[in-house]
Structure 1
Amino acid sequence: MPNIIAYIMLFFWPMISWGFFRAFEIPKAVILTIVLGYLFLPVAPAIDMPLLPPLDKTFVPSLTALVFAWLRSSHQTTTDDISSRRAASISTTSAQLRADIATTTLEPWRKPRRKSRTNLMITLLCGLIFWGCWLTYSANTTPIDLPDETLPALRPYDAASMALSITVQLLAFWVARAYLRTREAQTTLLRVFVFSALAYSCLALIELRLSPQLNNWIYGFFPHEWRQHLRNGGYRPIVFLSHGLRLGMFLTLGILSAALLARVSEKRIRTGWLAACLWLLIVLFLSKNLGAVLISMILLPVILFFSARVQIWVAVAISLLVLLYPIGRGAGYIPVERMVAAMEALSTERASSFSYRLDNEAILLEKANLKPLTGWGGYNRSRVFDEWGNDISTVDGQWILIIGTYGWIGFIGQFGLLCLPALLIWRMRKRLEVDLILTGSAVLLAGNLVDLIPNSSSVPPLWLMAGALWSQIDDRRVAFSGEAALRQETRRAEVAVRRKKIVPRRT
């Protein structure tokens, strides 16, 4: 049971966030509000109000960032407009004033929204997600009878509730889409990942020595099962997150971000980023997160040594693997026996846990294939029960959770938002201004996507990265379109001059 400190932190977070917006520019304040809220707010407190999503550590920081960023940007626009009108002379005509406003250079996060293919794709994917919620309700209007209980049928209220929960999950994506449009914003996001991971590593070392008790000491509860955080005679730290696996993935995010910043920084500060990368890698090894360690060891050389072209190919390969994994799993193309055998060579305990997850994936996927397009909805309808009505399934992977609940329509919508940025960068690599920041960020996103196969770790930093990549793709595409039009106009002028020189005008 969370104590009063947990509720105080949850309710006072908007005030802390307002301090970020008063002290920093909008992109940095947005990043600090969402990332630090994810790291330091308690998991358990959730105020469940009627007709509204629960006020928890996922919803409060994202909504706060969205509201404050909108208020700050609208206030700056109004203030700049009033100042420009006061500075204008009395004799200035309205036509001249409109021309001056039209030619005024806007800040990067205040650029007007343009119609583009990326906006159309995002609209289609989001529409697919919300349309799928209604289809899920339509296909599950009958209850499921079990020996001891009855799982209720879905109502229109449940369709609205599912759509609202997905909206809360996508708030961080939409905020990043609106305000993290520039290369500087992406660099700021990487810096925040590194410094917050360094701060978290110190807290993780405390829990490695004294056991995972910080959440219990400060907020008065432990957010998960204790036995899952006992590993090899020691402890797996959890700090203020919901599970130690999520802490491992955030450390991985800090490691890869530090390596990317070392790659693109000047020589005099490169050593500091490499030292931060090495320190976080040591803490990750000590935290006993095998999956996160494997992802870090595979992607770290890609970030440090390979070119932007190779990096985008790696990001595309991983994104396609994650997107097509459910199809390969259902068709039997995934070599699960070899994967279990390879895991046994590392650890028998980890191999047993991995095999248990694969068995659960098989039975859950078999149940999901009974309603492949729409899924089974909530109320544990997608789980598997034995003949006595006992729940014999465990949902771990994010992909099987989405397919079982929302069907393939929901899977394509949600995973499309996460996997398509790498494919778009690869497709437009010759037209976009592709650099190491863009391709390295795509590799970071792809590394977090790998963790969605065995674990359900769809967290705000993941959607923050995805939204920032979508926004930068759109921004660079628009910039390229303007440069292409200018080059085409220049070319036409040169051709016209040559024609005048070759063919003289008749008199």
Structure 2
Amino acid sequence: MSPQAILVMLLWPGVVFFLFNRFPSQKAVVISFIVGWLFLPQKTGFILPGLPDYTRMSATCYSILIATVIFDFQRFRNYKFSWIDLPIIICSLSPFMASISNNLGVYDGLASSLSQTVRYGFLYLLGRLYLGNFLGMKRLAMAIFVSGLIYMPLCLYEVIMSPQLHRMVYGFMGQRQFIQSIRLGGYRPTVFLFHGLSVGMWMMAATLIGWWFWQSGTLKKVWNIPITFFVAALTVTFILIKSTGAYIYLAYGLMVLFSTKWLRKKILLIILIVSISIYLFLGATGQVSGTKGDQFLDLLSSVISEQRLSSLEFRLDNEEILVEKALERPIFGWGGWGRNRVYDYNSAGELVNISTTDSLWVIQYGINGALGLISIFATSLLPSLMFVVSKSRYPARFWFHPKIAPVAVISVILPIYMLDCTFNN
């Protein structure tokens, strides 16, 4: 950790309190999370005795929760529990069940559940408290779009000069290995995120929102400049960041967009949600492996490069052995401490890890079992599904009404993001 990175982390709660004092609390929450996610330093934090580590996201959650108590306590009083909140509760409790079922002890279970709650539960709670209305969703979508515009010149700089901004600002490289930033004869930017894949997903979301706002007339100008200019610039920048998977996700998002606009049909979004659910079921039961896995790779060989195909094959091979182990404890999983991984003896007689965990789904399945896997994906897929099937309240012809459009595009982005989580973490 560099001195400037430590200083930023220590000052961050004060910045959040300032935002709550300066803006409406709903807007302050959106700004705090997006700025924290996009600009706080990587690999910087502090160990808090008895609490999850103080990291970029836990610091943001702690600060917003304290600011809510101080500036907007009425939010907690107005909160109404709903059945749709059950998945996140189960998700937060699943590490405790995993620890108990593996005889790791009550303390380990409580610590693991608290960590999971901070990582996912607090963000969900704050979203439910602040963003559960049309204005909140519009502010969220607008902020993601504007953040994409702000990130745009930073991405272009790193496309040309290589990923250096984190080192230049914070004094150290906080991301994955530099070699992973080299793509297609150039550089894939990481800016202040942990990996180029994260930048690709964020810019995909910002670009898709821009297209949706443009087509729906939700936003006509930004900084007194026609939105068409910014949508075109974002699209070009997105192409230049060299994130192959994100290209496919944007293409599918645009297909959903135009099928809804022209055909008044939601079927493509329903297909996506159902396909993810089917894949998780087949994967968790060990059916996406062996011959079926080879057939899947053969199908993709005509549309993706040999390098990407090799990477996908490596992931599927590792998921096959990880699922085999997960099936030994399918309900509650193996718990923490790397117990979900596969080990074998090397030539020196040492027990070493021979598995690589890439995707969120196989990590959750191995650590917290089917309970954790289903709950974490249901947390993100159920809201989108409920929006899609609400024919009487949100028929497809209304998805481009300026009031409904922000909710619609977020409901498309969530399943696309969870689709990516079947391949990445």
Per the normalisation by structure 2, the TM-score is: 0.89
The answer to whether the 8 A contact 2:141-2:209 is kept is yes
Determine if the alignment matches structure 1 residue 188 to structure 2 residue 139: yes
**1:171-216 Cα distance to aligned partner (Å, 9 max, x none):** 1111010011221221111111011111112111111111111111
Aligned mate of 2:422, from 445, 453, 456: 453
Determine if the alignment matches structure 1 residue 359 to structure 2 residue 311: no
**2-structure distance, mates of 1:68, 1:382:** 38
> 2:413 corresponds to which residue?
444
Aligned mate of 1:286, from 223, 231, 240: 240
Determine if the alignment matches structure 1 residue 316 to structure 2 residue 270: yes
**1-structure distance, mates of 2:144, 2:309:** 31
**1-structure distance, mates of 2:101, 2:325:** 15
**2-structure distance, mates of 1:344, 1:432:** 39
> 2:62 corresponds to which residue?
63
CA shift, 1:111, in A, is 8.1
Aligned mate of 2:366, from 404, 410, 418: 404
Aligned mate of 1:382, from 340, 345, 353: 340
The answer to whether the 8 A contact 2:259-2:265 is kept is no
> 1:332 corresponds to which residue?
287
The answer to whether the 8 A contact 1:6-1:219 is kept is yes
The answer to whether the 8 A contact 1:7-1:45 is kept is yes
> 1:21 corresponds to which residue?
20
Identity among equivalent positions (%) equals 27
Determine if the alignment matches structure 1 residue 373 to structure 2 residue 335: no
The answer to whether the 8 A contact 1:313-1:426 is kept is no
Q: 1:269 to 1:452 in 2, by over 3 A?
A: same
Aligned residue type for 1:185: G
CA shift, 1:433, in A, is 7.9
> 2:112 corresponds to which residue?
162
> What residue ranges of structure 1 are gaps of 5+ in the alignment?
78-108, 142-153, 457-507
**2-structure distance, mates of 1:62, 1:308:** 41
> 1:208 corresponds to which residue?
159
**2-structure distance, mates of 1:401, 1:333:** 16
CA shift, 1:450, in A, is 1.1
The answer to whether the 8 A contact 2:159-2:241 is kept is yes
Aligned mate of 1:251, from 203, 208, 211: 203
The answer to whether the 8 A contact 1:383-1:391 is kept is yes
CA shift, 1:307, in A, is 3.7
Q: 1:8 to 1:433 in 2, by over 3 A?
A: farther
Per the normalisation by structure 1, the TM-score is: 0.75
The answer to whether the 8 A contact 2:388-2:394 is kept is no
The answer to whether the 8 A contact 1:361-1:395 is kept is yes
Aligned residue type for 1:296: L
The answer to which of 427-436 and 201-210 deviates more is 427-436
Aligned residue type for 2:107: Y
Determine if the alignment matches structure 1 residue 120 to structure 2 residue 86: no
Aligned mate of 2:386, from 404, 413, 424: 424
> What residue ranges of structure 2 are gaps of 5+ in the alignment?
400-404
